[in-house]
Amino acid sequence: MVDSPKAIFEFMVNEGKYQSYTHVWSFDSSVEEWNEIFELYKENPNVLFVERNTEEYVKYLYKSKYLITNATFQSFFVPRKDQVVINTWHGTPLKKMGFDIKDSHPAGAQNVVRNFLFANYLISPNSHTTNMYVNSFKLNGLYQGEIIEAGYPRIDLTKKTTFDKELKKLKDLSLNVSFDKKTILYCPTWKGKDVNNPTSELKQMTSEAKFLQKRIAPDYNLLVKVHPFIYSVAKEMEELRDILIPDSYDANELMAAVDLLVTDYSSIFFDFMVTGKPILFYCWDKELYEEDRGLYISEDKLPGPVATTIFEVSEYIKNIDKVKKEYNANYESLKSEFLKYEDGKVTSRIVSYIFDKEKLDSGTTIVVKNSKKKLLFYVGGMRNNGITSSLINLLKNIDYSKYDVTCFSGYPKASDSIFNIHSIPKEVRFLFKPGYAMLNSKEQKLVEKYNTNPSKKNSESLPWNGLRREVNRVFSNLSFDVAIDFSGYSFFWSKYILASDSAKKICYLHSDMMEDKSRTVNGVRIHEMNLLRLFYQYKKFDKLITVSPVMKKVNQEKLGEFVDDNKFAYALNTLDIEKLFSTNTILEEKTKINEGNADLVNLSDSIEVFKNPYDKHGERKKIQSDDALRSVAQVINENDIRYKTLMNDIFIGWTSSEDVIVQLPQIVSLENVNYFCYIKRNKKRILWKELPTFKEAKVVGKIWEYRYLIAKVNKEAYLSNNQIYAHIQIDSVDIGWVEKSVLSNINNSLLLRKLKNHLTNRKRLAELSERTLETVYEEGYIEVISLPDKDPWSKALNGESEYNDIYLADGKILRYTLKIQNAHGWYYRIWDDKSLIGWINEKEVRKIDDFRVVSKQKISMRVKILSDYVFENIERQKTIAIEKPEAVLVQKYITTFGTYYRTSENKFVEETQIEVIENFGKYDLLGNYVLYPDKQNYNIITMGRLSPEKRQSDLIEAFSHFNRSVENARLYILGDGPLKQELINQINDSNLADKVFLMGHEKNPFHLLSLGQFFVLTSEYEGQPMVLLEAMALGVPVGATNIPATQFVLQEGKLGILAKSNNIEGIQNMLFKAYNDKIRPAEFDVEEYNNKAVQMFYKQIEEA
């Protein structure tokens, strides 16, 4: 019972006019201190306690009129419309919050935003916190409640608590406090990665606290308050027993007894300023924190100095009077900005305002809803495709002075999805579907019935009342003016649009939807069921927007059995003009600090210690034989590795790889245990055959292979780097050692083990006999000495034959990147350049140990040479000093001893000794280095997803005939997709690898597109071919297959070539016509087009 909810509760329970209210507190049964609170209020019938996440808890969540929290309710909860939700939050933010956190996962704050949006009142102590709600969490324009900016109720607790009374309470808790000393509170935030194993962070905090306690003992008491996440572990540590504040102890009451606060990024310092007492900031990890998160207030504006070591903290304490004087101006400035409402009456005025509807006597209320039209978009998975591009283009063209835009999606996992979400304009907010759908069993069965058998009859039985309840949960009971399914391919997501509280509901049709329903990829109709489910819902939309007039007509004709003609409309897609003409093609990557624990060994009796990782000079520090060094992070600084170093668990600074080396951890203790666990989904963690405490420790493989299975843990090992490893068994079979953090304990183990493994995962259990027994992570080269016979693991990647004889022949040299052992023997994972072939038994190959050139490839890039010398020949027999640090590389050599480059001056340099300044090409999907188009060749460009309807295979065939006559022709294919491997094989089979280039997905393809002499589109069908418009905007001549969408865009051939027939011969003739006629670019006004397109969109959403 802490924070502002406690302040509100105590005020109301002791104030006469509120005696009719019943107060229900939820509690966590694992927190023992609640027993004292139960005892305190056991005689008060108006105070009840319910355990969190129980049926009784849910009952009171539903029936209570007022709900007060300082954090968030669970993802399953949404309030009734007659309930009043008051969110006090838990501090003025120093750390960046919400969408202000640079490069954070976009869905990281999904449940926080949802909770803020359904709150009737948000409590704010100052304008800075108000700005957090409004802008950092993007509530502006959508939030329907009130922000009460009138101070923090919890700070009233500090102002009304007396020093002597609070000190006595601390003494009564058997804490080590003396009445004749001043008291220091050390209050660090939690910044660890693993809440279940905070040992490393706690060891450091404990060692530094004890060091500080010893230094200040004559004059000060030292008390420590840790984050609730780690309190349960901290309270078991003997060293903290007499200085650790109980988690249940209210921090604001505690402040009344504190004379000096030491903290890092905790918002507690804002509250503490009400006391007028000094503050020190101990930010030993500020480089890590600023890189990952960032702060709102710069270091020079803080109300106290920032120390980076505990030794500096000790010095500041010794000179605290000087510190107070030096930082007084900052202190008073921040007090006036952040604490101007803190008069000790905050709780009274906020309670009176909410419960009695009385006016505020101090402070203000902020309402952020506005008259803008509110648009809700479902945006699909935000993967790299045409729909995502069209969406981003539209969002970049919307007038945000008139429209408030919310996008929603599922939880994004793919890197391209996350990148694309970060690419949208900052004015747009994103919501994400949290948790599971709130449907009862009957409702869920009706949805499943429709999904299994979509029909008119089953459509009419869909549980729309339940779906509206689910939509209210996701969208926090909010209403929108227009809800748009911009993706238009999934009933699962369309039902959120249809069930939303929106005046108008729209679905986009980006293509010939009936044709897309029949589209086949690798023998599967990938959209058939999804689109059929959606077709039956079309009549529920107010409008179906196609992306061109021809697509409107096509869809009207083909979808007539599902929806009336008058539902169809069209609006052209917009273009991203800024991106079209941007020359920024390379994003500069900064050196990243990598966190991770490792033991260090010093190479001499002293080490150089640097204040920050990039300093040129540091101070040497003597090391004793019993001093223990540990790194918690590392970063590359030019040719040096810098380690963020702790000595005896006290941070001292950064050290250099010239003074220390990483040592493998040692076993501290080994215990026999007996419990069952669930193996979490983790792609990175290693499964070890032996504990990783020596260099030769053997590896089984990745724990990913065993995800979701139930395992028995029979041993636990504690290592010197504070990692805990668990030894797991499955069905009495020893599997190996894995970090405990990837396991979840299970209580009812026997039952769950049987249910999970033997029902859900029977097939995977049966494959245990085929499991990997050992993995060796090494790379090298092998020579094939015999082709495999019937070995079950010697097979091609596609599994269609025992081996792929295109790649293999006796004497062929292949690269391997992994060696594994299973029940059949040892196998190499083999590649031909960048193409994965498969696995081959070690009996059929010979490992190459001598120097050989495996392959050569032309390249072109300008580089900086980092070493002082280069080699005179590829055999590396003689070195010569470099005359100038820059060079142009013209050839790449793959050798059995590494990768080398030949310079334009016929010298050779190792790959590790270059830094690229400018690249004149890139590697394509075949692994070949491709120069960007130049005017010496006739360059044909196409762009689109590698899928059947785009017909890139037919284009390659047509180009092969064209190229026989026009030998300097080159074909650049931009995009990626399911046909990648098929197209790679076609290019190799046709011997076109030096003429046809699969360039893959480009984040900004328009620079490359602008270098073409001709752009060609060979689609079987399209909605609105944006790539034609983009090529015309860049002044590139265009041609396309003759389909309705291209007829419209190219104005029946006025703006480009339309094929006379859409077969391979027709495409080939189109290429010849463009070349022979020296076709000129079309006149295309991109600004005029964009204005027209966005006005079409406005028209569709504004019309009744």
Q: What is the pLDDT of residue 243?
A: 93
Last residue of a domain, one of 770, 791, 815: 770
pLDDT tens per residue across span 812-859: 888 999 999 998 899 999 887 667 788 888 988 899 999 999 889 899
Distances (CA, A) of 14 to 38, 344, 346: 17, 16, 16
**Does pLDDT of 318 surpass 80?**
yes
Once rounded to an integer, what is the mean pLDDT over residues 1088-1097?
A: 96
pLDDT tens per residue across span 182-216: 999 999 887 655 555 666 788 889 999 999 999 99
pLDDT tens per residue across span 522-573: 888 989 999 999 999 999 999 999 999 999 999 999 999 999 999 999 999 9
Nearest one of 687, 701, 682, 679 to 760, comparing CA atoms:
679
Same domain, 843 and 858: no
**Does pLDDT of 590 surpass 70?**
no
Q: What is the pLDDT of residue 314?
A: 96
pLDDT band at 751 (very low <50, low <70, confident <90, very high): very low
- Give the domain extent around 547: 385-570
Question: Which residue shows structure tokens 């076609």?
Answer: 986
Same domain, 817 and 945: no
**Does pLDDT of 764 surpass 80?**
no
For the sheet containing 146-149, what is the strand order? 66-69, 84-87, 121-124, 146-149, 364-366
CATH at 899: 2.30.30.170
pLDDT band at 587 (very low <50, low <70, confident <90, very high): very low
In total, how many domains does the chain have? Answer: 8
Once rounded to an integer, what is the mean pLDDT over residues 242-260?
A: 92
Q: Is 355 contained in some domain?
A: no
Q: Is 672 contained in some domain?
A: no
Q: Is 503 contained in some domain?
A: yes
The three-state secondary structure class of 5 is helix
Same domain, 402 and 256: no
Same domain, 393 and 509: yes
**Does pLDDT of 608 surpass 70?**
yes
Q: Report, in angstroms and rounded to the nearest whole number, the Rg of the chain calculated over CA atoms.
A: 34
Q: Is 213 contained in some domain?
A: yes
Same domain, 893 and 803: no
User: What single-letter amino acid sits at 765?
Assistant: L
pLDDT band at 874 (very low <50, low <70, confident <90, very high): very high
pLDDT band at 762 (very low <50, low <70, confident <90, very high): low
Same domain, 21 and 54: yes
Measured CA to CA, the distance from residue 178 to residue 486 in angstroms comes to 67
CATH at 1048: 3.40.50.2000
Q: What is the pLDDT of residue 442?
A: 97
Measured CA to CA, the distance from residue 797 to residue 804 in angstroms comes to 8
* Contact between 545 and 1024 (Cβ < 8 Å): no
Predicted TM-score (pTM) of the model is 0.85
Contact partners, residue 816, CB within 8 Å, separation at least 6: 779, 780, 781, 782, 828, 829, 830, 831
Measured CA to CA, the distance from residue 755 to residue 758 in angstroms comes to 6
Last residue of a domain, one of 847, 869, 898: 847
* Contact between 602 and 629 (Cβ < 8 Å): yes
Last residue of a domain, one of 865, 885, 919: 919
* Contact between 24 and 50 (Cβ < 8 Å): yes
The three-state secondary structure class of 971 is strand
Q: Is 347 contained in some domain?
A: no
**Does pLDDT of 585 surpass 50?**
no
Contact partners, residue 1098, CB within 8 Å, separation at least 6: none
pLDDT band at 754 (very low <50, low <70, confident <90, very high): very low
CATH at 90: 3.40.50.11820
Contact partners, residue 74, CB within 8 Å, separation at least 6: 53, 111, 435
Q: Is 368 contained in some domain?
A: no
pLDDT band at 750 (very low <50, low <70, confident <90, very high): very low
**Does pLDDT of 795 surpass 70?**
no
**Percent of the chain topping pLDDT 90:** 72
Measured CA to CA, the distance from residue 66 to residue 81 in angstroms comes to 12
* Contact between 814 and 844 (Cβ < 8 Å): no
Q: What is the pLDDT of residue 588?
A: 46
Measured CA to CA, the distance from residue 837 to residue 804 in angstroms comes to 8
**Percent of the chain topping pLDDT 70:** 94
pLDDT tens per residue across span 733-743: 999 999 999 99
Q: What is the pLDDT of residue 586?
A: 45
* Contact between 851 and 895 (Cβ < 8 Å): yes
pLDDT band at 289 (very low <50, low <70, confident <90, very high): confident
Q: What is the pLDDT of residue 165?
A: 87
CA 223 to chain centre: 37
The string of DSSP codes covering 430-488 is EEE--SS----HHHHHHHHHHHHS--HHHHHT--HHHHHHHHHHHTTT-EEEEEEESS-
Same domain, 144 and 178: no
pLDDT tens per residue across span 258-274: 999 999 988 899 999 99
Q: Is 216 contained in some domain?
A: yes
Measured CA to CA, the distance from residue 602 to residue 295 in angstroms comes to 35
pLDDT tens per residue across span 935-979: 899 999 999 999 999 999 999 999 999 999 999 999 999 999 999
Same domain, 488 and 405: yes
**Does pLDDT of 516 surpass 50?**
yes
Once rounded to an integer, what is the mean pLDDT over residues 341-356?
A: 97
Note the residue count of the chain. Answer: 1104
Quote the DSSP letter at residue 189: P
* Contact between 71 and 271 (Cβ < 8 Å): no
pLDDT band at 678 (very low <50, low <70, confident <90, very high): confident
What is the rounded average pLDDT for all residues in the chain? Answer: 91
Same domain, 192 and 326: yes
Once rounded to an integer, what is the mean pLDDT over residues 71-84?
A: 94
Same domain, 546 and 432: yes
Distances (CA, A) of 733 to 428, 727, 1065, 1087: 52, 11, 62, 67
Q: What is the pLDDT of residue 809?
A: 65
**Does pLDDT of 879 surpass 70?**
yes
**Does pLDDT of 92 surpass 80?**
yes
pLDDT band at 785 (very low <50, low <70, confident <90, very high): confident
Q: Is 507 contained in some domain?
A: yes
Same domain, 433 and 496: yes
CA-based end-to-end distance of the chain = 52
Strand positions, DSSP E, 528-649: 543-546, 568-570, 594-602, 606-609, 619-622, 629-637, 640-647
CATH at 438: 3.40.50
Same domain, 548 and 627: no
CA angle 992, 997, 1002 (to 5 degrees): 170
**Is 1023 or 353 the better-scoring residue by pLDDT?**
353
pLDDT tens per residue across span 452-501: 999 999 999 999 999 999 999 999 999 999 999 999 999 999 999 999 99
